Chains A and B, each alone.
Chain A
Amino acid sequence: MMAERLAVPKTFKLYIGGKFPRTKSGRTIRVAHRDERIIAHVGRASRDDLAAAVAAARGAQGAWANATAYLRGQIMYRMAEMLDGKHEEFTSLLASTVPGGIRRARKEVGAAVDRLVCFAGWTDKFSHVLAGCNPVAGPYDNVTVPEAVGVTAVIAPDEEPLLALVSLIAPPLCVGNTIVALGSGAHPLATCVFGEVCATSDVPPGVVNLLTGMRSELIPHIAHHRDIDAIHAANLPKSQRQVLRAGAAENIKRVTVHKLAADAWYDDNACHNPWLIEPFVEMKTTWRPVGA
Chain B
Amino acid sequence: MTAQSTRQPELSFGSAWRYADAPDSTPIEIAHRYGHFIDGEFVEPADGKHIATINPATDEPISDIAAGDESDVDRAVRAARAAQAKWARTKPRERAKYLFRIARRIQERAHELAVLETKDAGTPIRESRDLHIPLAAQHFFYNAGWADKLRYAFAVASPRPVGVCGQIIPAGAPLLMAARKLAPALACGNTCILKPSELSSLVVLRLAEILQEVELPPGVVNIVTGGAKTGEALAAHTGLRAISFTGSTETGKRIARAAAETGARVTLQLSGKSPNIVFADASLDQAIEGAVQGVFFSRGLSCCAGARLLVEEPILGEIVRKLKIRMATIRVGDPLDKNTDVGPLACKQQLDTIKAYLKTACDASAQLHETSASPLPKKGSWCRPTLLTDVHPSDVACREEIPGPVLAVMTFRTPDEAIAQANDTPFGLAAGVWTDKGSKGREIANRLKAGVVWCNTYHKFDAASPVGGCRESGLGREGGIQGLRPYVEFS
How far apart sit A141 and B153, CA to CA, in the bound complex (Å)? 23
Residues of chain B from 135 to 184 with CB closer than 8 A to chain A in the complex? 138, 141-142, 144-146, 148-149, 152-153
Known: A121-B149, A288-B442, A292-B440. 4 other contacts (CB 8 A): A118-B145, A129-B153, A272-B149, A273-B152
Knowing A74-B141, A122-B149, the reply to whether A128 touches B480 (Cβ < 8 A) is yes
How far apart sit A289 and B146, CA to CA, in the bound complex (Å)? 34
Which among A117, A273, A288 is the interface contact of B438 at CB below 8 angstroms?
Answer: A288
Determine if A121 and B144 form an interchain contact, defined as CB atoms under 8 angstroms apart: yes
Q: Is B439 an interface residue (CB 8 A)?
A: yes
User: Can you report 26 A-B residue pairs in the complex whose CB atoms are below 8 A from each other?
Assistant: A70-B141, A70-B463, A73-B141, A77-B100, A114-B93, A118-B93, A118-B145, A118-B149, A121-B96, A121-B144, A121-B148, A122-B149, A123-B145, A124-B142, A124-B463, A125-B145, A125-B152, A125-B464, A128-B153, A129-B152, A129-B153, A139-B443, A272-B148, A289-B438, A291-B442, A291-B443
Nearest Cβ on chain A to B471's Cβ, whole angstroms: 23
Nearest Cβ on chain B to A135's Cβ, whole angstroms: 13
Residues of B near A291 (CB, < 8 A) are 439-440, 442-443
Determine if B439 and A117 form an interchain contact, defined as CB atoms under 8 angstroms apart: no
How far apart sit A114 and B146, CA to CA, in the bound complex (Å)? 14
Residues of B near A48 (CB, < 8 A) are none
How far apart sit A289 and B438, CA to CA, in the bound complex (Å)? 8
Knowing A69-B464, A128-B464, the reply to whether A120 touches B145 (Cβ < 8 A) is yes
Which of A120, A128, A139 has the largest number of chain B CB atoms within 10 A? A128
Nearest Cβ on chain A to B65's Cβ, whole angstroms: 33
Nearest Cβ on chain A to B486's Cβ, whole angstroms: 17
How far apart sit A111 and B169, CA to CA, in the bound complex (Å)? 38
Q: Is A204 an interface residue (CB 8 A)?
A: no
Chain A interface (Cβ < 8 Å from any Cβ of B): 69-70, 73-74, 77, 114, 117-118, 120-125, 128-129, 139, 141, 268, 272-274, 288-292
Nearest Cβ on chain A to B260's Cβ, whole angstroms: 33
Chain B binding surface SS class: helix
How far apart sit A121 and B464, CA to CA, in the bound complex (Å)? 12
Nearest Cβ on chain A to B233's Cβ, whole angstroms: 36
How far apart sit A120 and B103, CA to CA, in the bound complex (Å)? 13
How far apart sit A69 and B142, CA to CA, in the bound complex (Å)? 10
How far apart sit A268 and B100, CA to CA, in the bound complex (Å)? 18
| Closest A residue by C-beta to B462 | A70
Determine if A290 and B138 form an interchain contact, defined as CB atoms under 8 angstroms apart: no
How far apart sit A289 and B149, CA to CA, in the bound complex (Å)? 34
Nearest Cβ on chain B to A120's Cβ, whole angstroms: 7
Knowing A70-B142, A124-B464, A268-B93, the reply to whether A118 touches B148 (Cβ < 8 A) is yes
Knowing A117-B93, A129-B153, the reply to whether A122 touches B442 (Cβ < 8 A) is no
Q: Is B446 an interface residue (CB 8 A)?
A: yes
Which among A117, A268, A273 is the interface contact of B97 at CB below 8 angstroms?
Answer: A117
Q: Is B362 an interface residue (CB 8 A)?
A: no
Nearest Cβ on chain A to B440's Cβ, whole angstroms: 7
Residues of A near B152 (CB, < 8 A) are 125, 129, 273-274
How far apart sit A291 and B444, CA to CA, in the bound complex (Å)? 8
Nearest Cβ on chain A to B466's Cβ, whole angstroms: 11
Nearest Cβ on chain A to B299's Cβ, whole angstroms: 27
Q: Is B282 an interface residue (CB 8 A)?
A: no
Nearest Cβ on chain A to B419's Cβ, whole angstroms: 12
Which among B439, B463, B481 is the interface contact of A292 at CB below 8 angstroms?
Answer: B439
Determine if A70 and B153 form an interchain contact, defined as CB atoms under 8 angstroms apart: no
9 shortest interchain CB distances as A-B pairs: A121-B145, A291-B443, A289-B439, A290-B442, A290-B443, A128-B481, A124-B464, A129-B152, A274-B152
Nearest Cβ on chain A to B361's Cβ, whole angstroms: 35
How many pairs of A and B residues are in contact by the CB < 8 Å rule? 76
Please encode chain B, from 303 to 324, with 1 for each CB lying within 8 Å of some chain A CB and 0 for all others: 0000000000000000000000
Residues of B near A274 (CB, < 8 A) are 149, 152
Interface residues on B, range: 20 to 34
Chain B interface (Cβ < 8 Å from any Cβ of A): 93, 96-97, 100, 138, 141-142, 144-146, 148-149, 152-153, 438-440, 442-443, 446, 462-464, 480-481
| Closest B residue by C-beta to A70 | B138
Determine if B439 and A125 form an interchain contact, defined as CB atoms under 8 angstroms apart: no
How far apart sit A141 and B149, CA to CA, in the bound complex (Å)? 28
How far apart sit A267 and B148, CA to CA, in the bound complex (Å)? 13
Residues of B near A272 (CB, < 8 A) are 148-149
| Closest B residue by C-beta to A113 | B97
Residues of A near B443 (CB, < 8 A) are 139, 290-292
Knowing A73-B141, A125-B145, the reply to whether A290 touches B446 (Cβ < 8 A) is yes
Residues of B near A118 (CB, < 8 A) are 93, 96, 145, 148-149
| Closest B residue by C-beta to A291 | B443
Which among A77, A125, A290 is the interface contact of B149 at CB below 8 angstroms?
Answer: A125
Residues of B near A273 (CB, < 8 A) are 152
Determine if B442 and A73 form an interchain contact, defined as CB atoms under 8 angstroms apart: no
Residues of A near B440 (CB, < 8 A) are 291-292
How far apart sit A3 and B184, CA to CA, in the bound complex (Å)? 58
Which of B100, B138, B145, B462 has the largest number of chain A CB atoms within 10 A? B145
Residues of A near B148 (CB, < 8 A) are 118, 121, 268, 272
How far apart sit A98 and B481, CA to CA, in the bound complex (Å)? 42
How far apart sit A196 and B179, CA to CA, in the bound complex (Å)? 34
Determine if A141 and B145 form an interchain contact, defined as CB atoms under 8 angstroms apart: no
How far apart sit A125 and B443, CA to CA, in the bound complex (Å)? 28
Nearest Cβ on chain B to A246's Cβ, whole angstroms: 34
Determine if A141 and B442 form an interchain contact, defined as CB atoms under 8 angstroms apart: yes
How far apart sit A287 and B446, CA to CA, in the bound complex (Å)? 15
How far apart sit A274 and B151, CA to CA, in the bound complex (Å)? 11
Residues of A near B149 (CB, < 8 A) are 118, 121-122, 125, 272, 274
Nearest Cβ on chain A to B99's Cβ, whole angstroms: 10
Residues of A near B93 (CB, < 8 A) are 114, 117-118, 268
How far apart sit A129 and B462, CA to CA, in the bound complex (Å)? 17
Nearest Cβ on chain A to B448's Cβ, whole angstroms: 13
Residues of B near A69 (CB, < 8 A) are 464
How far apart sit A128 and B153, CA to CA, in the bound complex (Å)? 8
Determine if A290 and B144 form an interchain contact, defined as CB atoms under 8 angstroms apart: no
| Closest A residue by C-beta to B97 | A117
How far apart sit A69 and B462, CA to CA, in the bound complex (Å)? 11
Which of B144, B148, B463 has the largest number of chain A CB atoms within 10 A? B148
Residues of A near B462 (CB, < 8 A) are 70
Nearest Cβ on chain A to B400's Cβ, whole angstroms: 32
Residues of B near A120 (CB, < 8 A) are 145
Residues of A near B153 (CB, < 8 A) are 125, 128-129
